[in-house]
Amino acid sequence: MTNPLLQDWQTPFRIAPFDKISDDDFEPALEAALESHLSEIDAITSCDFDPTFANTIEALEEAGSLLDRVLGVFFTVAGADSNPARDALQREFSPRLAAHFFAISSNKALFARVASVWENRDKFDLSSEQARVLMLTHRGFVRAGAALEGPDDSRMKAIKSRLAVLGTQFSQNLLADERSWYLPLGEDDLQGLPDFVIDAARSAGSGKNLDGPVITLSRSLIVPFLQFSPRRDLREKAFLAWQARGANGGETDNREIAAEILALRQERAQLLGYENFAAYKLETEMAKTPAAVRQLLTDVWEPAKAQAERDAAVLTDMMHGEGVNGDLAAWDWRYYAQKRRVAEHDLDEAALKPYFQLDRMIDAAFDCATRLFSLEFTRLEVPLYHADCRAWEVTRNGQHVAIFIGDYFARESKRSGAWCSAMRSQAKFPHIQSPVVINVCNFAKATPALLSYDDARTLFHEFGHALHQMLSDVTYESVSGTSVARDFVELPSQLFEHWLEVPEVLKTFATHAVTGEPMTQQLLDKLLGASNFDIGFATVEYLASAFVDIEFHDGDLPDDLMAKQNSVLAALGMPKAITMRHATPQFAHVFTGDGYSSGYYSYMWSEVMDADAFAAFAETGDPFDTERAASLDRHILSAGNSADPEELYRAFRGRLPGVEALLKGRGLSRT
C-alpha cells in the first residue's frame, strides 16, 4: 500500500490526510524524505555552473520540501497527541535528524558555494529580501560550524546529536511526570470549589478511567484548585507535586539532563569562538548582549518586587486573620489573592468565568482579525489528527489566505502549555500552496467549555502568533512568518492580547453561558479595573525564570544546577512565597531545544514593544484604526524576517520604544 505521507495529497487545500495516516507510515516516510533531501543537496553541490543566488541559495530554499511536509505532520501529532509509538519514534529520530541537518550545515562543498555567493554578492542584482536571505543563510552556516575542521567538526556533530536526544528526553520526562500524578478528591474535599473546577476535576477523573474527581498537574486545573480550595493541606500537596515535576528521582528526573545540556551548549559555543552560550545565542537577537538582557530585567525587577512584597504583607494579614499562623507559603498565595480580588474589586472568578465561553472567545479573536485585517473564517469539515480539533479556511477579499486549526482541550496525550506551529509555512514556491497553522492549548474540557480570563488571554496570544504565520507575504520560507529573532517573535502575540481588553469586544463576546446576556457594564468595569491585580506576583515569577536562564548560560558552568538556581534567586531577594514560573527541572522553554535558551527574557523584551505598539492605536482613539492596522500588517505581520526587526519596528512606529510604556501598562513605578 502506498504511504499516504509520500503521496500528492488530493485533499481540500492539500491538508494532511490524517484519516489515512497510521503510526506505521512515519518511519518509512521519514527515511524516504531524508534520502530525498540529501539528493537535492547533492544536486546543488554537483552543479557544474558557478555559484549564483538562484542555483545555490534559492535551490537550498526549495530543497527539503518532502521532509518539511512529513516532519510537519509528525511533530504536530507527537506534541499534541502522543502515544508510546510516537514517543519511541521521536527518541529514535531526534539524533538522526540532528545528524542529518548537521551533515548539511557542515557540508564543505555546499558551504563553499554559499560562501562564494556571499563574497560575490555585489555582482548579483538581489532584491532586499534576497540580500537578507543570503546574509542569514551564510551566517547560519558559520554559526552551525560549517567552517570547523577535523576534530572540532566531529565534536560539533556529536554535541548536536546528543542535544537532540537530551531535549526529547527532557520533554518526555516532564510529560510522564504530569501524566502519572493525580490527587483523588472525596466529596468533602470539593467543599468551597466552584462548579467549573468540580466539573473539570470530574472530567479529569473520567479521563483516567476513575470513578471520582481528581486534580492533575495540568495548569488549567491545578491553578484554579490552588485559587479556590480552602483545604490548605491539599493545596500544599498539589503545589509541591506541581513544583516537583522533573525532579522526582528515577528515570524521569531532569536535573542531570539539564546540567549536561548546559555543558554541551557551552562547549558548542566555545568551539565557534564565543565566550559562552549566551554570547553566541544573543548575537542574532535584538538584545545582542547578556548585559542588555540584564538591564531590561533589572529595570522591571525592582518595582515588581516592591509591589509583590506589599501584596505579600496584605495576604499574610488575611491569612492570620483566619487563624492560620506562620508565613505565607507558595500554596497560599493564589488562594488569598483570589479572596482579596473579591474583597477589593468585587470580582469573583466563579461569577466571571461563565462569560468566557471558549467558542465565544474564538469568535472574538476572529472578529478582531476581521476588523483589523479584513480576514474571514469559514469552518471546514476535514479529517484531523484528533476529534477535539477544528479547522477553518481563512480568506481575505474572497482570496484564500491560509488554513487555521485549533486544538484547545487538555488531554493526557498532549504536552503541557500552549503553542502555535505551522504544519506548512508561507512561501511563494510551487510546492507551497498556503500556510497551515495550528494553535494548541490546554483548556479544561467541560460542557460548556469555560475559560478563565487568563485562558482567554492565552487564546488571543497564540492567535497573534497564528496571524503572524497566516499573513506572512514573503518569497522565501526561511524568512516567513515567525522565523524572526526570538525577542521579536512575541511582539505580534502579546500585542494581539490587548484587543481582548477592548470594552466593545468584551461587551459583544463575553456573554453568559446560561442566560446569554452580555457582561454588564458594572462587571466589565470591575474586570478592566482589576487588569493589573496581582501584577507583582505575575511579574516576579516570570522574571525569576528569565534571570536564572540568562545566568545559566552566561559565565562559568555551575557545579550544582539547583544550587546555582537558588543562589540566583537569593541574590535577587526573591520573595519567599513566590516561586519561579518554571523551575529548572520543568523549564521546557529552555531545555527541550535552543529556542528560548538564553532567551526567556524575550517575552519581556517584546512586551516593551507591544505596549508601545498598542499605544499607537490608542493615540488614534480607535483600537481598530484601519491605517494603523494596515501599517502593522505591512511592516510587521507580513514582513516576517525579510528585514532587520529594528528596521521593521521603526517603519511601523517611527522609533524604538523605552521601558516606560511597559511599566505603565503593568501599573508599576520605578519610585
Radius of gyration in angstroms for the set of CA atoms belonging to the chain, rounded to a whole number? 25
Do β-strands 436-443 and 399-409 pair in parallel, antiparallel, or remain unpaired? parallel
SS3 14: helix
Cell of 57: 541559495
Give residue 643's identity as a one-letter amino acid code. A
Cell of 567: 543562589
Q: Are 450 and 356 in contact (CB under 8 A)?
A: yes
Do β-strands 375-380 and 214-215 pair in parallel, antiparallel, or remain unpaired? unpaired
Neighbours of 291 (CB within 10 A): 10
Using the Cα atoms of residue 167, residue 172, residue 178 and residue 181 in order, give the sign of their dihedral. Answer: negative
Kindly compute the dihedral angle of the four CA atoms of residues 455, 456, 460, 466, in this order, to the nearest 10 degrees.
60
DSSP-assigned letters across all residues of 231-264: -HHHHHHHHHHHHHTT-SSGGG--HHHHHHHHHH
For 441, the enclosing helix (H) or strand (E) is strand 436-443
- Note the residue count of the chain: 671
Q: Which residues of 45-66 are buried (b: 16+ CB within 10 A; e: fewer)?
A: eeeeeebbbebbbbbbbbbbbb
Question: Nearest 5°: phi and psi at 199?
Answer: -60, -40
For 437, the enclosing helix (H) or strand (E) is strand 436-443
Cell of 483: 522565523
Question: Nearest 5°: phi and psi at 403?
Answer: -115, 130
Give residue 433's identity as a one-letter amino acid code. Q
Give residue 40's identity as a one-letter amino acid code. E
Spatial neighbors of 179 by CB under 8 A, at least 6 apart, are 412
From the list 61, 462, 551, 607, the catalytic residue is 462
Question: Nearest 5°: phi and psi at 347?
Answer: -125, 105
Spatial neighbors of 69 by CB under 8 A, at least 6 apart, are 5, 16, 33, 424
Angle between helices 602-618 and 486-497 (to 10 degrees): 40
Calpha distance 452→444 (Å, rounded): 10
Peptide bond into 448 cis (omega under 30): yes
Nearest 5°: the CA angle 502, 508, 514 is: 125
Helices (runs of H) and strands (runs of E) counted in the chain: 27, 7
Cell of 436: 497551515
**Residue among 310, 302, 300 at smallest CA distance from 337:** 310
Q: Is 462 a catalytic residue?
A: yes
Spatial neighbors of 328 by CB under 8 A, at least 6 apart, are 312, 315, 316, 319, 336, 576, 577
Q: Which residues pair with 357 in a beta bridge?
A: 450
Spatial neighbors of 540 by CB under 8 A, at least 6 apart, are 301, 304, 305, 308, 574, 575, 578
The residues annotated with a catalytic role in the active site are 462
